[in-house]
Amino acid sequence: MKTVLRWGSWSLIGLVLILTLGSGGLYWRIKSALPQVKGELTLTKLASQAKIARDIDGIAHIFASNRHDAFYALGVAHAQDRMFQMDMSRRYGAGRLSELVGKRALKTDAQMRTLGLHRAAISSWDHLNTKEQSAINAYADGVNAIISAKSYVTPAEYIFLRTRPEPWTPADTMTVFKVMAYNLSGDAFEEPGRKRLLDILGPERLAQFLPSYPDNAPIALREEDMSSVYPPAPPAQDDAAPALGSSMGEKIKGSNNWVVDGTMTTSGKPLLANDPHLALSAPGIWYYARMNAPDMMVLGVTLPGTPFVTLGRNRTIAWGFTNTGPDTSDMQLVQKGTIKTRTITETIKVKGAEDVSLAIKFANGGVVLAPQWFRAAEMAGDGQSVVLTTTLDDGDDTTASIGLANIDAASFDDLDSALSRFKMPQQNIVYADVNNNIGFVAPARVPLRDEAGNWVGEIPYEGLPRTLNPGKHYVATANNKIVPDSYPYYITDQWYGFHRIRRIVENIEATPKHDTQSFIAMQMDTVSDLARRTLPLFAAAQPKTEAGQHLRNIAARWDGNLSPGRPEGLIYVGWRREFSRLVYADDLGDDFERFWTPRNGFMERVLNGNYAPWCDDTSTAARETCQDIAGKAFDEAAQTLSQEYGNKPENWRWGDAHEAVFAHPLFGGVPVLKNFFSVRVPVGGDGTTPNVSHYSYRAGNFDAPWGPSMRAIYDMSDMNASLFMAAPGQSGQVLSPHYRDMARRWADGEYIQIRDDWTPQSPPPGTSVLTLNPQ
């Protein structure tokens, strides 16, 4: 969606500049869209008086006399602070962006219509129970009470789009849930890339280039700690799919979480940490809220467009997610004449152009990918079609039910039982409670496959990975492998994050007794396990130029910490970029740019000598070693980096080159406006550090558009001592003081508290209280 909405329209830029320069009222029009946060509002469909108290950081604390009004009030807060974001999310999932931005979004709309997230969302509604539907209906009523009011002023984005948000519906909420599942799902669209690499490299070298999870990397659950119950598995599960990694190297969608029990803490009670790694955006993906009613208290991050706390705590338990990444999608090549197809037709309305009629075909239990819209359809030969089968289009998805379950759960058994209705996307959920229990469960609908890899059902819920109070006293995940080899079911072959999990486990085990400060240090850790493994090659490298030797000398004394305030991080990533080009550009030829990524798993094996033959340049008669090209990489990095950052490497700073980019979905690529609507802040780390910050080789810079979307540390000895942070800010209104006020604090490792021990009658300093009265 981000790519689609980065407009390249000079006419739009011209319009914006004319408005900006020619109308002194534009600023005041945008300013007038800021929501009312004090005083009183009278609203329809509210049962009793409720209050939204926004603290000094803009965190919404909701106080209601019943659950209906609590969900309603969250809808009010979301509509006030994040309406445009919510609108983009539902339109993206429903394939309706073209209605707002024109034909630039047509391909994305056609893809989303084909995948059918919105169709599945509508079908899922009937599978929720009455309480769940009531919560979502109340939320929609709260959103609509704001945007339908006569005094409502739309956010700035709607000025340029010349439109207003449509009424919010329960189907929109279900679609937002589906969009999140889609963004975190296993990626069937890997398969064309794998096929192309197989054609280039052959099976033996492909297995090296896309290596499986290493034997020396941590696994989340030991066999002796597993408490899953295994019904009989189909035969030959281990052979259901080849053990290969992602075709594009380590995935950028990931997360960290870990939990330790009281034997490992100074307080004698558990500590739990979570930081989901997602695309950074302005506004951010999450919205912090605390929701209070006589029979509930829950706080944490909410997903705008939905009425529940996704990651957080109640008064008894806390939980955190990371993505499991199961293989839930398949592509199959079929002969057109051998399949029966069913066709539906949908109409895509396109702003400024004629409507587009889209014919969507279904066959063999999946959807046919049209070559006009999907690059993956290139896999098909003459007379063939590509059929995608995925769990994303399941119409009986009840994942939304977890929102109420999190409110009411008081024990691991409560949560585990409720998670049987959690269908997608599969998550590694760590758990802690005030009674000194810790646990883990990875719920979802995961396909069960036969020996040929065909779907024959799904892994039974009782067979999914789980543990309660493991003997090693902690559980940690970072998208790494979560089950031992004895686990009888196939989940995925694309485990990743093993450099992060190595460092996390090292830090957990190196500290005899943890507290919140040690957990902060772990979340903010920018030491790279992979960088430390690179240091011996640095020492052996022999650059030929004086500038290259200077870089090598600085890097050789390094400790592997990609701190934003030091030069070594920039030297290291500049060297790695050149080194990777020298390692496999000759092997991939014309396809090199397509597959040029950091490839951490592959590069580790090159660096440690296991894949040393890859260092030979096949285009020369000589036989180059890894030491040879390591020296050459220093020479080339010195040349490219000095052009950008000057001739004195000791004065370089990784953070100057490496900024977290919170791009606005509409104006992130528009000159002038991107500086106003997007947010940038220097950060350390890279894709292998616990404090993750991914960059792209092909982007031509070291900007980090992916990173920790929020951070949380839950202290079971004192829940109100728990710590939180997200960025860039709570508000999506560009002129709000809370639009970007958390970005620098997020980068610097600061945290805030979200306490549950105050009311609107005794708020902390700086709190603004809005009273909602029923009409």
pLDDT digit string, tens, across residues 56-114: 999 999 999 999 999 999 999 999 999 999 999 999 999 999 999 999 999 999 999 99
Nearest to 600 by CA among 315, 362, 246: 246
Could you give the residue ranges of the DSSP H alpha helices within 476-607? 498-510, 516-523, 529-540, 546-556, 568-588, 600-607
Strand 342-348 relative to strand 329-335, pairing? unpaired
Residue 45: what pLDDT? Answer: 97
Residue 674: what pLDDT? Answer: 87
What is the rounded CA–CA span in Å between residue 395 and residue 120? 4
What is the per-residue pLDDT across 490-543, written as a single tens digit (0 to 9) for each? 898 889 999 999 999 999 999 999 999 999 999 999 999 999 999 999 999 999
**C-beta of residue 704 within 8 angstroms of C-beta of residue 692:** no
Nearest to 307 by CA among 176, 398, 180: 176
Nearest to 475 by CA among 434, 430, 515: 430
Residue 150 per-residue DSSP state: T
Q: Residue 23, class by beta-carbon neighbours within 10 Å (0-12 exposed, 13-18 middle, 19+ buried)? A: exposed
Nearest to 723 by CA among 524, 436, 469: 524
Residue 250: what pLDDT? Answer: 84
Residue 232: what pLDDT? Answer: 64
For residue 543, is the peptide bond before it cis, meaning its omega torsion is within 30 degrees of 0?
no
Residue 392: what pLDDT? Answer: 66
Residue 456: what pLDDT? Answer: 81
Residue 397: what pLDDT? Answer: 82
DSSP string, 638-683: HHHHHHHH-S-GGG--HHHH-EEEEB-TTTTTSTTHHHHH-EEEE-
Q: Residue 607, class by beta-carbon neighbours within 10 Å (0-12 exposed, 13-18 middle, 19+ buried)? A: buried
User: What residues of the chain score a pLDDT lower than 50?
Assistant: 2-11, 14-15, 18, 21-22, 236-241
